[in-house]
Structure 1
Amino acid sequence: MSRPRPPLFDKKKIVAENRRARFDYEVDTVFEAGIALTGSEVKSLRGGEGSIVESYAEVKDWQVWLVNSNIPEFSHANRFNHEPKRPRKLLLHEREINKMHGAVARDGMTLIALSVYFNSKGRAKVELALAKGRKNHDKREHIKEREWKREAGRILRDRG
């Protein structure tokens, strides 16, 4: 008997999720990246605050930056607080950065953030995806396919 496969990434506490991303984009490859954060940003994320709804990542000077993510200011940090929408550096291996850079430059793909979470070691991570945008007719087709699968499951469940 084969051993069960472990989950793709070890997500212990999900802080923010971009649910619309899988509908608007066709996800190709998924990466896990660390985030370079300040202390007040970590405290704010541990409190469950943060949003990545309109965020994306870009490759600049062979570094990857998370743009337009919102981590609100921590209430007890006074003058040592951070800017809520500043670009945040993502920590990745060089070969992963090269792969992302090539896909974005050649294939016209986009780097989108799917979720922000804390792993089992307590480190803040971002789930990034190389994705291609869907057209409206593709979205309608996706909805039809999803509904058909749901209906087929109901039929099989009722008959079985």
Structure 2
Amino acid sequence: MAKNKEKNLTFKNKKAYHDYHILETLEAGIMLQGSEVKAIRDSRVNLKDTHIRIIKNEVYVLNMHITHLSTAHTTFRPDERRSRKLLLHRKQIEKLYAKVTKEGVTLIPTKLYFNSKNMVKIEVAVAKGKKLHDKREDLKQKTLKKEASQALKNNY
């Protein structure tokens, strides 16, 4: 009996690319409790309005919403919006802290996915906030690119 190949589950924070200039990315593990991994496999995760803070030399992802499974026992359900610790090496945390202390630079999650070893990983980005005119320019470039590709598609 052949095993079914599981689909590639990747959850992106689309708002992050709209609101920030991504300077650098880093892969980190994440500490989960109970049935949270099963809930992530069931696509019950939301990265919108999620941010990352460094608290006492430890990195936490805050405001990430993982909805409970209906099959999970009620007494073992962790809080849906609890802060979850990220697993990084000390040197990586120190580098991130040095970058974040600069003016206007922040840490945001861009992706949540399962790696090749079936472990839940989160992609952390060092980002700088966009101004309103930058957002408008990006939107203008996106629509121009979309119109050009559609015009090429219609001509052939």
Which bracket does the TM-score occupy, shorter chain normalised?
Answer: 0.7 to 0.9
The 1:48/1:153 distance shift into structure 2, 3 A limit, reads closer
The 1:150/1:96 distance shift into structure 2, 3 A limit, reads same
Matched-pair identity in %: 39
* Letter matched to residue 123 of structure 1: M
Choose which of 139, 148, 152 in structure 2 pairs with 1:143. 139
How far residue 39 of structure 1 moved from its aligned partner, in angstroms, is: 2.5
Gap regions ≥5 residues in structure 1: 1-10
Choose which of 32, 41, 48 in structure 2 pairs with 1:46. 41
How far residue 12 of structure 1 moved from its aligned partner, in angstroms, is: 3.5
Instruction: Give the TM-score taking structure 1 as reference length.
Output: 0.82
The 1:47/1:141 distance shift into structure 2, 3 A limit, reads same
Matched, 1:88 2:84: yes
Q: Contact conserved, 1:12 with 1:119, CA < 8 A, in 2?
A: no
Partner of 1:131: 127
Identify which range, 105-114 or 54-63, moves more after superposition. Answer: 105-114
Identify which range, 113-122 or 61-70, moves more after superposition. Answer: 113-122
CA RMSD in angstroms comes to 2.2
* Letter matched to residue 76 of structure 1: T
The 3-state SS of whatever aligns with 1:77 is coil
Choose which of 28, 32, 43 in structure 2 pairs with 1:33. 28
Gap regions ≥5 residues in structure 2: 1-6
Q: Contact conserved, 1:29 with 1:129, CA < 8 A, in 2?
A: yes
Q: Figure out how many residues of one structure are paired with residues of the other and give that number.
A: 149
Partner of 2:67: 72
Instruction: Give the TM-score taking structure 2 as reference length.
Output: 0.84
How far residue 100 of structure 1 moved from its aligned partner, in angstroms, is: 1.2
How far, CA to CA, are the matches of 2:43 and 2:105 in structure 1?
Answer: 30
